[in-house]
Amino acid sequence: MTDTTTRPATDVEGVLASLTLEEKVAQLYGVWVGANADGGDVAPNQHELTGDIDMDALVPAGLGQVTRPFGTVPVDAALGALSLMRLQQRLLDEGAHGIPAMAHEECLAGFAAWGATAYPVPLSWGAAFAPELVERMARLIGEDMASVGIHQGLAPVLDVVRDARWGRVEETIGEDPYLIGTIGSAYVRGLESAGIVATLKHFVGYSASRTGRNLAPVSMGPRERADVMLPPFEMVLRDGKPRSVMNAYTDTDGIPSAGDASLLTELLRGEYGFEGTVVADYFAVAFLKLHHRVVGSFGDAAALALTSGIDVELPTVHAYGEPLLDAVRSGELAESVIDTALRRVLRQKADLGLLSGEWSPVPPVLAGRDLSDPEALRGTVDLDPPQNRAVARDLAEQAVVLLRNDGVLPLVAPARIAVVGPTADDFAAMLGCYSFPLHVGAHHPEVPVGIEIPTLLDAVRAEFPAATVEYALGTTIDGGETDGIAAAVALARESDVVILALGDRAGLFGRGTSGEGCDVESLVLPGSQAALLAALLAAGTPVVLTLLAGRPYFLGAATTDAAAIVQTFFPGEEGAGAIAGVLSGRVNPSGRLPVSVPASPGAQPSTYLASPLAQSTGVSSVKVGATYPFGHGLSYTAFEWSDAAVAEPAIGTDGTARLSITVRNTGDRDGAEVVQVYLNDPVASVVRPVQRLVGFRKVALAAGESVRLTLDVPADLASFPGATGERIVEPGELVFGFGRSSGDIPLSVGVTLDGPVRVVGFDRALHPVWSEQRPRG
């Protein structure tokens, strides 16, 4: 065994040269293990695809990755850290050349571990339009992960919503590439600042599957891919500097992403210059044989994935084990291909300090502690401290979207409140499918949830202590029962106001109404919720429709008959208090829709990012569009916009337009406005969307306060993939609209681009530059 105490910290080539073929390959796969609940040795997670995993047989050759030691079964944080430490010590003592494994976890809405903070889901990040807050959240997530010995997080999701029927909408940041890229960059900066390797996923096109079905084929041309799907990845690669990327499961026009060298190598590494690792989505390498059927053996699957650019097979050893070794031994695959991937893996381990002889397997939470009595460690590590909950609360509050209000909100001293609906008295209504309590905890009902998650009913009672608050279920989320509707109507008629809580139950693969594998045929509310809604709207008592959901739904008559509509997207452990705060007026809502609320339950796919012929027309009987468009959201105060101006009406195709606008809070309370800037290109050489977001600014204004906003908009932001596929900036007329939403653009200015057509690339300008001027005094 190599003496690691004498090894230089970055001696990647020296390590590589010392490894046998078997030891090289061992660095290119993970093993799915669960930490021991008592702090003992980890236990491999057996899976039908891979058969039994024998750790004793694997450890001598070394191990590249450890998959979800905290996210497999409920385990106390301190004892889980001890169990992982034992595995790392074993790799140091018994593994080839003493190379530790990288440990990765899910972290989509918080560290997916028992007892860790459950933050709002990514769709709520988009609704908040607050990148700085998302960055703070991600840093806290990363610090918690690093404290127990985790190195890599499998987030964020940068997929662009194209069809809201897709189950994984809740995991996305929204339907606009610029919003996703901006918020995604903030998340990555936060995670990476804590030392955690962020992983962009899913590269690329996963969310554009036919009919919104999970893992279904994608029918998307190269221009749509370049114009809609790739920009978030381009933005985050440049602005966030992540160190890993995960492939998409899907095939696009018959080419699986996991076997697409033009995507994973030529584009990602060649054009974009990405130098980190590419990891396989779980079982994606095997799926090349099992589902895509582009190869006939697992050895061929491994060879195709490796040569295409996938460095690490996750979640556990399979195709990159014996099948890959056989392919190299038989001469079907050159060992140099292994070496290319291995260099990237070892370089990443070196960057994390894992190749240094000074590296210790003892994680920060166990440093300096007596480890001889594991039971004494139980309960000593808090992954949900007050500072985490404070950020979760702030983000949840900023993500609440007020869609409609006839003046009933905020509620003023109601005497009797009826709280009705299937998401009102269920803590799970606050959580997404990748939260630990639902993703893992649901399979262990005997284990406590591990964190405090008030229900909406709890929060309403706490928010309105002087009111009589009574509850009726009405119907379940998706059971279809109607026998409880009459009792709900009777309660409504005895009350001053009805808070009707509808929405989703997050789950996996059909065990929920939202989440991975929980796709739907239409955007009708699940079960008999629409019938409950109709009955309560007809009861005569003002109804405040409150949605806790993972996607937008068709809301029918509620858009005209409900007294108010409050939209949230799985707002996390502090979500109930955030909603109650909006209902009472303690919180002034400032969220904006990251996805459009459809005007029809079946006109999908449909988002605001659409060309003229994708709008409703007189030559089709199918009407598309939104009741509440992307970017919409109301406040309890009023904002006046005025004096939109452009400094120079004409600039070069390589120039910058300076735009400005004044925003004044004309109401009687403080609030925050989201100024959205949309680009309309009236005449272009290829078909363009009618509106496209190119910038936004969330500004907090005290009552009576005003601000002059100025933004410098590079002409590069008007670029698009032209007829030849090159990204170009064309001369011609542009219209920049200052919008309250994509459907409400009260002020606009025109700019003419003069000069030749310019070709731009990955290094083009991506953002406007904003500045503020506020009156003194």
Q: What is the pLDDT of residues 709-721, one digit of tens each?
A: 999 999 999 999 9
CA angle (533 as vertex; 531, 538 as ends), nearest 5: 100
Digit-coded pLDDT (tens) for 205-234: 999 999 899 989 999 999 999 999 999 999
The pLDDT of 492-512, averaged and rounded, is 97
pLDDT tier at 50, thresholds 50, 70, 90 = low
The Cα–Cα gap between 114 and 446 comes to 13
Radius of gyration of the chain (CA): 27
pLDDT tier at 2, thresholds 50, 70, 90 = very low
Amino acid 1: pLDDT: 36
If you ran DSSP here, which 8-state letter would residue 683 be given? S
Digit-coded pLDDT (tens) for 100-141: 999 999 999 999 999 999 999 999 999 999 999 999 999 999
Digit-coded pLDDT (tens) for 157-170: 999 999 999 999 99
Amino acid 10: pLDDT: 62
Q: Which of 261, 543, 258, 511 is nearest to 404 (CA)?
A: 543
With a pLDDT cut of 90, the percent of the chain lying above it is: 92
Amino acid 622: pLDDT: 85
The residues facing 736 across adjacent strands are: 679, 749
Decide: helix, strand or coil at residue 292. Answer: coil
The Cα–Cα gap between 271 and 363 comes to 38
Does residue 527 register a pLDDT over 50?
Answer: yes
Digit-coded pLDDT (tens) for 567-600: 999 999 999 999 999 999 999 999 999 999 999 9
Does residue 743 register a pLDDT over 80?
Answer: yes
Taking a C-beta distance cutoff of 8 angstroms, is the pair 293, 301 a contact?
Answer: no
Q: At what angle do helices 177-193 and 230-239 cross, to 10 degrees?
A: 30
Structure token pair of residue 98: 């003493």
Does residue 620 register a pLDDT over 90?
Answer: no
Residue whose token pair is 């899910």: 106
Amino acid 436: pLDDT: 97
Amino acid 53: pLDDT: 83
Digit-coded pLDDT (tens) for 431-484: 999 999 999 999 999 999 999 999 999 999 999 999 999 999 999 999 999 999
The Cα–Cα gap between 104 and 328 comes to 28
The Cα–Cα gap between 190 and 132 comes to 9
Structure token pair of residue 53: 């995993």
Q: Which of 251, 340, 333, 334 is nearest to 299 (CA)?
A: 333
Distances in whole angstroms, Cα of residue 367 to Cα of each of 81, 151, 361: 11, 17, 10
Q: What is the mean pLDDT of the chain?
A: 95
If you ran DSSP here, which 8-state letter would residue 267 be given? I
Amino acid 3: pLDDT: 45
List, in order, residues 6 or more apart from 197 with CB less than 8 Å away: 102, 104, 151, 152, 153, 242, 243, 244, 276, 348, 352
The pLDDT of 43-66, averaged and rounded, is 83
Amino acid 47: pLDDT: 66
Q: Which stretch of DSSP H or E encloses residue 393?
A: helix 386-399
Sign of the CA dihedral 541, 542, 548, 552?
A: positive
The pLDDT of 511-537, averaged and rounded, is 97
The Cα–Cα gap between 507 and 423 comes to 14
Taking a C-beta distance cutoff of 8 angstroms, is the pair 96, 62 a contact?
Answer: yes
The pLDDT of 17-41, averaged and rounded, is 92
pLDDT tier at 35, thresholds 50, 70, 90 = confident
Distances in whole angstroms, Cα of residue 189 to Cα of each of 107, 112, 192: 14, 19, 5
The Cα–Cα gap between 312 and 304 comes to 13
